[in-house]
Every structure is written in structure tokens, then in C-alpha cells.
Amino acid sequence: MNDKLCRSICLLVVCLLSIAGYSQNPRPKGAIGVQAPKKKSTGFIAFNTDSAYQKHEWIPQSGDTLKYRLLLPADYDSSKKYPLVLFLHGAGERGSDNQKQLIHGANLFLQPQVRENYPAIVVFPQCPENDFWSNVEMEMNDTTKKWSFNFLESGAPTQSMKMLLYWLPELEKKYKIDPLQRYVMGLSMGGMGTFEIVRRKPGYFAAAVPICGGANPKTAASIKETAFWIFHGDKDDVVPYQLSEQMVYALQEFYAGAEVNFTLYGNVGHNSWDPAFEEPDLLPWLFGQKKD
């Protein structure tokens, strides 16, 4: 039996187990299955993210403005290099207040144990109300009132994505970033943006965490050098979980060396970021990834 046939049979078996609701550990390499979210941690502390994250604006010669929030390590030393965590918010947090983008995820990096164990430069840029992180065509079904997503394989980036691409080198001029530890995370619209920015900057990010996002499977070749942990909820009625699943299949089937992990939560809707942030292995895994 040749290798290609073996891989096809294995993927078929995994798919059937997923349909049957088979439960397995959350993060063996390439896991595809439905699992219950873990019970919420009682140790999470709610911090004032607005005061903790510095307000910044970047205004290039074009005159556009990229607003972002920035968190420096607790004992920041400008002579040292630090990991970078870029976090892309969802559509509901778009705007110009430079605040709403902190609603989801910002508190995670303020936890004392996280500050102590994973000192990093964490940035939350904000996408304007009328724009999108990824290059995707969306259409709502008049009957079901649900969105369909057509991710473009190529083409020019959106204005907000273009701003990110121009801004990152400027950020690295201002702060010393460890080139071996650049990470990107995002949820919903930001999950889609996570796939896209990895595609548009191949080899730049050591690891990526797209939550309830999606992308065009034909772009898998451009992102295979980055390690992925992908999350979704099987009851997501906003962004179907199949959009994440097809990216996992594309990476696994065509790029055997790709590092891709998939957690599909059972009976979880669009807010799969909540159980994802509670994963005890999430940050150890993320910061454990380094470019060769």
C-alpha cells in the first residue's frame, strides 16, 4: 500500500470518528475530533485592560491611522529582545475608539503567572468599522440569515491588512523583537486575518492561533512553515467550523511536515475563544514554538 493511499485512509477514519462525536485529547498533533470544553479556571483575575495597555497610533505618510494597544513586559528592559504576540480582534470590536479591541483576549496576558512566565510585547491593533482584516467575500442567505464566506486565493490586501504589513517593520524598529518568537492570534474576523497575515508574511511567524476563523485551502502552501493550533466550536452559527476543518485537512494532506493542531469543541457556538483561552497548554505551546 503506497503512502498516499495510507494517508487517505487515515484521514477518512479520522473524519468518520469526528462525525460520530469521538472525543480525544485536545492537542495531539493534528487532532480532529469533538471534545467538551474544559471547566473554567477559578484562578483568572479580571484586570483593567484599558489602563494596562498603552494607547498608540501609527500614522504613515499616506495619512491613514492605525490605532493599537501595547503591553510591555512587567520588568521591561529596552536592551533585551522579547517575543511578539499580535492579536487580531473580531468584527464586533471594529471602530476608532482604540479600546473595543481589548474586549476579548487582553485579560489573558495580564494574569500574574503569564506576566512572569511569558514576558512578551503584546499588541492589539484595531480595524476600522468599515473594513476587514482578510480578503473575503461575504454574502448573507435571505432564508437562513447566515453568512457564506468566499476567501480569495490571491489579490490585494484590504486597507487594514496593508496597514498591518507596513506597520510591523516600524514596530520592530521601536522595540527589540525576537525574530525566532513572533506569534499571531485572532478570533472570528481576526481568525481569518490570522491565516491571511501568515500567508502574506511567509516564514515570519513561528506560530499562529486562529479561533473560529477560516481561509482558502489553496493557500496552505504559503502557511505550512508556521505552526498552527486551530480552534472552533461545532455549533458555530456565524462562522461554520468546516472553514477551520478544511484548512487542517489541506495542511495535513498535502504538507505532511506541517505542524497543525485542531481543537473542535462540542456544543460550543461562535464564542469558542472562551474555552480556547482556558486551555492550560495554550500559552506553553505558543511560546514553545521557535523558528529554526
Q: What is the mean pLDDT of the chain?
A: 88
Q: Please give the pLDDT value at position 57.
A: 97
| Amino acid letter, 151 | F
Per-residue confidence at 33, pLDDT binned at 50, 70, 90? low
> What average pLDDT does the segment 237-255 reach?
94
**Top-confidence residue, 134 or 256:** 134
CA dihedral 147, 148, 151, 156 (to 10 degrees): -50
Per-residue pLDDT at 113 exceeds 80:
yes
Locus of grid cell 498535502? 254
Per-residue confidence at 130, pLDDT binned at 50, 70, 90? very high
Report phi then psi at 12, rounded to 5: -65, -45
| Amino acid letter, 76 | Y
Q: How is the chain split into domains, by residue range? A: 3-36+58-288
- State the Cα–Cα distance between residues 40 and 34, nearest whole angstrom: 18
Q: Please give the pLDDT value at position 43.
A: 65
- State the Cα–Cα distance between residues 227 and 129, nearest whole angstrom: 30
Per-residue confidence at 12, pLDDT binned at 50, 70, 90? very low
Locus of grid cell 495554550? 282
Q: Please give the pLDDT value at position 142.
A: 72
Neighbour count for residue 52 (Cβ, 10 Å): 17
Q: Three cell numbers at 39?
A: 471547566
For residue range 202-230, what is the model confidence (pLDDT) as tens digits? 999 999 999 999 999 999 999 999 999 99
Give the 3-state DSSP-derived string for 12-47, with helices as H, strands as E and coil as C.
Answer: HHHHHHHHCCCCCCCCCCCCCCEECCCCCCCCCCCC
Per-residue confidence at 10, pLDDT binned at 50, 70, 90? very low
Given a contact cutoff of 8 angstroms between Cβ atoms, the answer to whether 258 and 198 are in contact is no
Q: Please give the pLDDT value at position 7.
A: 46
Per-residue confidence at 23, pLDDT binned at 50, 70, 90? very low
Per-residue pLDDT at 279 exceeds 50:
yes
Per-residue pLDDT at 81 exceeds 60:
yes
Q: Please give the pLDDT value at position 15.
A: 41
The percentage of the chain sitting over the pLDDT mark of 90, rounded to a whole number, equals 75
The percentage of the chain sitting over the pLDDT mark of 70, rounded to a whole number, equals 87
> What average pLDDT does the segment 85-89 reach?
98
- State the Cα–Cα distance between residues 288 and 82, nearest whole angstrom: 13
Per-residue pLDDT at 88 exceeds 80:
yes
CA dihedral 28, 30, 36, 38 (to 10 degrees): 50
Lowest-pLDDT choice from 108-112, 148-152, 244-248: 148-152
Among the listed residues 202, 201, 197, the one whose alpha carbon sits nearest the alpha carbon of residue 213: 197
- 123 pairs with which residues across the strands? 70, 86
**Top-confidence residue, 21 or 217:** 217
Q: Please give the pLDDT value at position 137.
A: 84
Q: Three cell numbers at 28?
A: 495531539
Per-residue pLDDT at 66 exceeds 80:
yes
The contacts of residue 62 (CB under 8 Å, 6+ apart) are none
Q: Three cell numbers at 152?
A: 480569495
Q: Please give the pLDDT value at position 148.
A: 85
Among the listed residues 66, 70, 97, 73, the one whose alpha carbon sits nearest the alpha carbon of residue 86: 70
- State the Cα–Cα distance between residues 89 and 185, nearest whole angstrom: 9
The pTM score is: 0.87
Q: Report the CATH number of the 3-36+58-288 domain.
A: 3.40.50.1820
Per-residue pLDDT at 143 exceeds 80:
no
The contacts of residue 160 (CB under 8 Å, 6+ apart) are 127, 128, 131, 132, 133
